[in-house]
Amino acid sequence: MDTDLSSQDRKDLDKFIKFFALKTVQVIVQARLGEKICTRSSSSPTGSDWFNLAIKDIPEVTHEAKKALAGQLPAVGRSMCVEISLKTSEGDSMELELWCLEMNEKCDKEIKVSYTVYNRLSLLLKSLLAITRVTPAYRLSRKQGHEYVILYRIYFGEVQLSGLGEGFQTVRVGTVGTPVGTITLSCAYRINLAFMSTRQFERTPPIMGIIIDHFVDRPYPSSSPMHPCNYRAGEDNGAVYPSVEDSQEVCTSSFSTSPPSQLSSSRLSYQPAALGVGSADMGYPVLFAGGLHAAHPHQLIGPGKEGGVPPVPSQPAHGTQADQERMCTPLDGVHYSAATPSSSEDTETVSNSSEGKCGSPHDLLETIFVRKVGAFVNKPINQVTMANLDIPFAMFAPKNVELEDNDPMVNPPDSPETESPLQGSLHSEGSSGSSTGNTHDDFVMIDFKPAFSKDDILPMDLGTFYREFQNPPQLSSLSIDIGAQSMAEDLDSLPEKLAVHEKNVKEFDAFVETLQ
């Protein structure tokens, strides 16, 4: 078996990888449009459906992807990344996910390009379809509309995970080995958002009050703008391409005319007829040699294949420049400003809570405390006025959005000198005037909304639970006195036990003999 890749195989492989990358981007972006996707199966191959899957091609997305790739292919150290972020109506944004298509050096020389690699890439796309519905951003994207939109950005180069906050999780969609390397598709997603019920976005205006501790205003470099994921297809008048249902009732937003969208003019002019023609040319007619009786096993047969990438005909508003080989530098990732210390602390604490680390009451308290403030900073705190709250809790009173400087989550005040160790852990606790040891009373005053509790129905169930068990009594076995006592007893009884064992040495030996 040839270990070197034939030139034909190499060309095929490059083409597969290129179109796999483009289709990957399409699947991801379409999954974040906020609509239900529906494509039809077709028993007769149209010759335009890569990987035997009906995945629509949104022209803008293809254009952006090609622009990002700039004629290159994913390789070691050069990954194609699709970043999904959320942007509120106030202009704050937060990165939700990062999908990475990477290539590593592990080669599988034995694998057949035109057959096995192709089928496995198809399987990987199906896995991607499944996984894109499973990450937290999917549900957010289905509810996008007035208060926030979902944006995407494609870049090529090094993977930048810093925008996801701490404690992000990774899910691997899959890998496909090829003779030139192993393609890996994975997603890193922010998890602290998972605790933010989407209901909060629907019901609580202004949205800034909830998310102030997560969002950091990031400047976008002009070279890689964000794009909204709320494309709506026009009337499908082309019979060539499998039609896509336009589920109007699910789509909650119309076109966004916000500045990052450079391609709003072309969105409305989506012409599937032209696309159909284009797809046929760049499509991959699927003719495999199957089974044992094939004259040319695993030979790729198809019209119009002159080797290399077939030219893509011009599409409206994009022209052929979309496909011209450009020597522009690949887009580097956006270097987001680092999260502020308090927000990273917040996310870290949150992520601790998400990992279920509720070891000591100390941690639990801290977690609760942080969660509390983040969840309802903007809500009117009725009970706050009931107690003596002028100094210690004034900073937790609802504020205007702009007063970020005063927000304790952004700029935590100095830790006060406190008596009890519990209070010492609460960094944002008020001045020493509050450290009278009445921890319970202090917490009761604020309308406590733990992360999982429901707003309307019995809101205090989980809260009551938390309060009751904030300070559980020490386990008796862990208390020093009893522990020391039992230890002392053990030590005292040791000599006696040893004496008994020595007496029975012979019996023990006999027993050991029977075992051997």
Q: Which residues bind another protein (CB under 8 A)?
A: 36-46, 49, 52-54, 115, 120, 123-124, 126-127, 129-131, 133-135, 138-139, 142, 171-176, 242, 245, 285-296, 299, 301, 452, 454, 457-458, 461
Which is nearer to another protein, 239 or 510 (by Cβ)? Answer: 239
Which is nearer to another protein, 170 or 223 (by Cβ)? Answer: 170
**Minimum CB separation from another protein for residue 37, in Å?**
5
Rounded CA gap, 133 and 263, in Å?
26
Which is nearer to another protein, 293 or 503 (by Cβ)? Answer: 293
- In sequence order, the 6+-apart residues with CB closer than 8 A to the CB of 186 are 99, 100, 102, 170, 171, 172, 173
Which is nearer to another protein, 47 or 424 (by Cβ)? Answer: 47
**Minimum CB separation from another protein for residue 47, in Å?**
8
Which is nearer to another protein, 115 or 220 (by Cβ)? Answer: 115
- Angle at the Cα of 246 from the Cα atoms of 243 and 248, rounded to 5 degrees: 170
- Angle at the Cα of 67 from the Cα atoms of 26 and 168, rounded to 5 degrees: 55
Which is nearer to another protein, 17 or 27 (by Cβ)? Answer: 27
**Minimum CB separation from another protein for residue 511, in Å?**
36
Which is nearer to another protein, 61 or 451 (by Cβ)? Answer: 451
Rounded CA gap, 439 and 423, in Å?
7
**Minimum CB separation from another protein for residue 12, in Å?**
16
**Minimum CB separation from another protein for residue 244, in Å?**
9
**Minimum CB separation from another protein for residue 153, in Å?**
23
**Minimum CB separation from another protein for residue 294, in Å?**
4
- Angle at the Cα of 504 from the Cα atoms of 498 and 508, rounded to 5 degrees: 105
Distances in Å between the alpha carbon of 46 and those of 9, 43, 81, 173? 23, 9, 30, 28
**Minimum CB separation from another protein for residue 17, in Å?**
17
**Minimum CB separation from another protein for residue 300, in Å?**
10
Cβ atoms of 365 and 448 closer than 8 Å: no
Which is nearer to another protein, 280 or 334 (by Cβ)? Answer: 280
Distances in Å between the alpha carbon of 268 and those of 14, 232, 236, 492? 32, 8, 12, 87
**Minimum CB separation from another protein for residue 52, in Å?**
5
Which is nearer to another protein, 63 or 142 (by Cβ)? Answer: 142
| Residue 183: closest CA among 129, 123, 232 | 123
Which 3-state string (H, E, C) describes 207-233? CHHHHCCCCCCCCCCCCCCCEECCCCC
Number of other CB atoms surrounding residue 294 within 10 Å: 11
Number of other CB atoms surrounding residue 416 within 10 Å: 18
Three-state DSSP class for 128?
helix
Three-state DSSP class for 134?
coil
Which is nearer to another protein, 41 or 516 (by Cβ)? Answer: 41
| Residue 459: closest CA among 379, 344, 399 | 379
Distances in Å between the alpha carbon of 407 and those of 90, 164, 342, 365, 401? 17, 22, 10, 20, 9
DSSP calls for 59-77:
HHHHHHHHHHHTT---BTT
Q: Which two tokens stand for residue 5?
A: 């890749």
Cβ atoms of 92 and 208 closer than 8 Å: yes
Which is nearer to another protein, 48 or 224 (by Cβ)? Answer: 48
**Minimum CB separation from another protein for residue 143, in Å?**
11
